[in-house]
Amino acid sequence: MHDVITLYNDMFDHMDGVMHALAKKKTEWKEDLFFAVKLARHKLSKYYTNVTPTTGVLHMSAHIVDSFSKLRSFR
């Protein structure tokens, strides 16, 4: 439970890295992969923005209760 937001952040970082690596590639399959990762990130960000203090109280509380991260991931 406390890893949900951490996993979100890790996936965002990974997708950003892949998109940065594939941004200037001209090969067809690399362009397709770039487009697919872009759509995946858009879908994931759509879900992530729904985790607000009103709707994601348990996720945030679980992340804060993790004594090894606390509020560090939100900064």
Chain positions contacting another protein, by CB under 8 A: 1-2, 4, 52-54, 57-62, 64-72, 74-75
- How far apart CA 68 and CA 12 sit, in angstroms, is 21
Residue 16 vs 50, nearer CB to another protein: 50
CB of 54 to another protein, least distance (A): 6
Residue 24 vs 47, nearer CB to another protein: 47
**What Rg value do the Cα atoms of the chain yield, rounded?**
15
Q: Print the SS3 string covering 15-44.
A: HHHHHHHHCCCCCHHHHHHHHHHHHHHHHH
Residue 24 vs 46, nearer CB to another protein: 46
